[in-house]
Amino acid sequence: MYTDENTARLLPDVAVHAQPHLAGALDWVGMNGIEVPVRFDAGDGDAQRASARVGAFVNLKRPDKRGIHMSRLYLLVEQALSTQTLSAHSLHDLLRSFLESHKDLSDRACLSIRFEHLVRRPALRSANSGWRAYPVCIEASLVGDQFLLEFGTEVVYSSTCPASAALSRQLIQDQFAKDFNPSAPVDHAAVFAWLGSEKGIVATPHAQRSVARLRVRIVGDARFDLISLIDQTEQALGTPVQTAVKREDEQAFALANGSNLMFCEDAARRIQKALDADANLSDFHIRVEHQESLHPHDAVAYASKGVVGGFAGKGCA
């Protein structure tokens, strides 16, 4: 007579059987896109629950073994991430548990977590506010005793081209010269009215939605201060996209754009200067992308902290 215990013993496990003709060590084996809830504190003490996609991997160092124990990784991810607030300590412990569950097979482990975090942002002038969803990517690895932790996000902003602004100002000057006799006295009221008319703004500089993609490494066991990272970046740029706006907010946004003309190089350097002053960041990587309205291609710039062996000089993909 079969019992549950006997049935379990009879279940085949082909992964334990070696295949000599296919022997070989593997860099990474695991799962990507695991669906799991996570709890994340963005730095304001309010841990939000989010739906995340997780990648969990270990290496397979033994060429004589066919595979790893993926179910062990899955259960460890589900148990740890769904019950604890994300932190450097909790992720370090999770990676150690990956290796303990594969101590005869693996000596390296890595983890990636992707989700969106909602942050309420105030309007520029009015009393309104609205939610912005910032993507968050956390990547952690453990190789021997070396634990490496990175996290990143994206900031969307508006960029107005300085060259286009200068060309537009020249056209406005040309129109002024046509509409006002240089030999006649300037009538203040007439000029004031002209500036408020369509003739007074015959050309406008091109602006475009732009994206700053950030990856940072935090010092030691410092917390994930996403809000501080966002605030530093948006303040450095001066033109983050808005949520709920009234006319006074839109006018303030137009003023911000006119006061913050920037090429992609300018934007990258602004963020670089801001993050370089943050003592909680040991390294950072910045990619700014101005999604051109003049061209069918984008203008892109990269910057980093310049740490030897860090992000500096890493690819331009």
Q: How do residues 135-174 score in pLDDT, each as one tens digit?
A: 999 999 999 999 999 999 999 999 999 999 999 999 999 9
Give the CA count within 13 Å in the CB-facing half-sphere of 194: 16
Question: Region 229-243: what's the mean pLDDT?
Answer: 98
Which of 68-82, 277-291, 301-315 has the least mean pLDDT?
301-315
Q: Percent of the chain scored above 90 by pLDDT?
A: 83
Q: How far apart are CA 305 and CA 273, in angstroms?
A: 9
Question: Region 76-89: what's the mean pLDDT?
Answer: 95
pLDDT band for 59, please (50, 70, 90 cuts). very high
Read off the tokens for 83.
Answer: 């019950």
Token pair 């304001």 in the structure block, residue: 44
CA dihedral 91, 92, 96, 99 (to 10 degrees): 70
Report the pLDDT value the prediction gives residue 22, as an integer from 0 to 100. 66
Question: Region 52-78: what's the mean pLDDT?
Answer: 95
Residue 21 has pLDDT above 90, yes or no: no
Q: How far apart are CA 235 and CA 267, in angstroms?
A: 11
Give the CA count within 13 Å in the CB-facing half-sphere of 218: 19
Q: Is 151 exposed, middle or buried (0-12, 13-18, 19+ CB in 10 A)?
A: buried
Q: Percent of the chain scored above 70 by pLDDT?
A: 92
Q: What residues have CB less than 8 Å from 181, skipping those under 6 apart?
A: none
pLDDT in tens, 95-123: 999 999 999 999 999 999 999 999 999 99
Question: Region 228-247: what's the mean pLDDT?
Answer: 97
Q: How far apart are CA 206 and CA 37, in angstroms?
A: 42
Which of 7-11, 27-31, 88-92, 151-155 has the least mean pLDDT?
7-11
**Higher-pLDDT residue of 12, 128:** 128
DSSP-derived secondary structure letter, 186: P
Residue 124 has pLDDT above 60, yes or no: yes
Read off the tokens for 57.
Answer: 């991997």
Report the pLDDT value the prediction gives residue 7, as an integer from 0 to 100. 58
Q: What residues have CB less than 8 Å from 242, skipping those under 6 apart?
A: 121, 123, 124, 130, 249, 253
pLDDT band for 19, please (50, 70, 90 cuts). low
pLDDT band for 4, please (50, 70, 90 cuts). low
Q: What residues have CB less than 8 Å from 15, skipping those under 6 apart?
A: 66, 67, 68, 69
- The pTM of this model reads 0.88
Residue 37 has pLDDT above 70, yes or no: yes
- CB of 63 closer than 8 Å to CB of 23: yes
Report the pLDDT value the prediction gives residue 307, as an integer from 0 to 100. 87
